[in-house]
Structures are given as structure tokens and as C-alpha cells.
Structure 1
């Protein structure tokens, strides 16, 4: 699992007192930084490899300002050129968000998807998601 810690900002809080839904995709992306390093270790955008093609988000509970949130990113499937992520955002012991995101390993210069290298595949396999890892208690 790739993990990230988010400190909610006042500016992300909407008029009804919870974190606005438009910030959830940003928080999910922040939890993928270690994943991005596998594909583009120097974070050079001229050689950026990870292109998002789909995200599905389910809002399970509200997120609030004042308490840290934790992102959890798992690998659900690895294809030839793409991978599917299963992601969660927890606040305390509440799972507030579930998401599924699909990325393609894309060569910007050639303008085409390329196979995921075996060395990266091996690292990705260390982060596979299994339903049994969906614990009730958050570590934040």
C-alpha cells in the first residue's frame, strides 16, 4: 500500500462545513507520489509516464477540516500497459472515500502507450489490494 497524509485546509471546506468533493481527486493524487516515482523517478514532466484515463469515486462519509486524513493506494490489477488502483481516504476510524483509478504507461514523445517494465511490475505487485486489508480502524 502507498500511503499519504493530508492536512485539510480551511479553503477546502465548503459552506456546509465539510471538505468539498472537488478536492477529493486532488487528495487521492497526492497519495500517489511514491507510485509516480516508480515510473518517473526524477519527476521530469518531459518524461512523465503516468496518464490517467478514468477515475470513479464513491463518497462514503464526510471529511472535515481539523483532522488529518490518510490516503491509501493499492494496486488492483496490472495489465500490459495499464494499471488499476483501488484507493481510500480515511479520517480517524472512518473510511470516507473509495475510488478506482486507471493509469496508462504512456510515452509522451512517441504519443503511445508502452508496456509496463518488469522491474516496475515487481514493485507494483508488492502493493496488491485484497479485500481483507480493508480494516475498520484508521491509523491516523
Structure 2
């Protein structure tokens, strides 16, 4: 599991006093930064590998300004060229949002999917999701 701590900003708070729902997908993406580094160690967009295909979010509870948020990212499934993530956002140990996303390992220069290398698969396995993680 990858864990990222986020400090909510005032600008992310909406008129009813909680973090705006449009912010949650952005925080999920922030939780994927270490995963992105596995595929593109130099973080260069000329060599970028991870292309998002799908993302789903379930909003479970409100998130508030003034208290840090934990973003958890697990690898749920590894295919030949793609992988599925399971993600959670928690505040004060409460589950506030959960979701899934699917990425494909993509060669931007050749404009086609690539098989996920074995060295990356080994690292991904270290972050594997299990039902007991919920």
C-alpha cells in the first residue's frame, strides 16, 4: 500500500463547509505519485507511461478543512499491460471516499500499450490489495 498525507486547503472547501467533491479525484491522483515513479522514474512527460482509462469514486463521508487526510493506494489487479488500483481517503480514521482506477502502461512515442515489465510487477506485488485491508 502507498500512503500519502494531504493537508486540505481553504480553497478546497465549499460553501457548505466540507471539502468539495471535485477535490477527491485530485487527491486520489496525488496518492499515485510513487506508483507513477515506478513506471517513469525521471517523471518526464516525454517518457510517461501511465495513462488512465477509468476512475470511479464513492463518496462515503464528508472531509473537512483543518485536519489532515490520508490517501491509501493499493494494487488490486495486474494485467499484461494494465493495472487496477483500489484507493481510500480517510480523515480521523473515518473512511470518507473510496474508489478504483485503471491505468495502462503506454509508450507515448509509439502510441501503443506495452507489457508491464517484470521488475515493476515485483514492486507492484508489494502493494497488493487484500479484502482484510478494508
What TM-score, normalized to structure 1?
0.95
Report the alpha carbon displacement of residue 68 of structure 1 after superposing the two structures with TM.
0.1
Report the alpha carbon displacement of residue 91 of structure 1 after superposing the two structures with TM.
0.2
The residue that corresponds to 1:54 in the other structure is: 54
The 4+ residue runs of structure 1 with deviation greater than 4 A are none
The residue that corresponds to 2:17 in the other structure is: 17
Structure-2 separation of matches of 1:69 and 1:18: 13
The residue that corresponds to 1:138 in the other structure is: none
Deviations 1:36-92 (A, max 9, x none): 110000100100000001000000000000000000000000000000000000001
The residue that corresponds to 2:100 in the other structure is: 100
User: What is the correspondence of 1:21-32 to structure 2 with a 5 Å cutoff?
Assistant: 21-32=21-32
Deviations 1:92-114 (A, max 9, x none): 11000111000000000000001
User: What is the correspondence of 1:60-75 to structure 2 with a 5 Å cutoff?
Assistant: 60-75=60-75
The residue that corresponds to 2:121 in the other structure is: 121
- Please tell me the root mean square deviation across aligned C-alpha atoms, in Å: 0.5
Structure-2 separation of matches of 1:28 and 1:132: 21
What TM-score, normalized to structure 2?
0.99
Structure-1 separation of matches of 2:32 and 2:111: 23
Provide structure 2 residue ranges, at least 5 long, that are not aligned to the other structure: none
Report the alpha carbon displacement of residue 131 of structure 1 after superposing the two structures with TM.
1.2
Structure-2 separation of matches of 1:54 and 1:32: 14
Structure-2 separation of matches of 1:93 and 1:36: 26
Structure-2 separation of matches of 1:55 and 1:27: 13
Provide structure 1 residue ranges, at least 5 long, that are not aligned to the other structure: 135-140
Structure-2 separation of matches of 1:110 and 1:5: 35
Query: How many equivalent pairs are there?
Result: 134
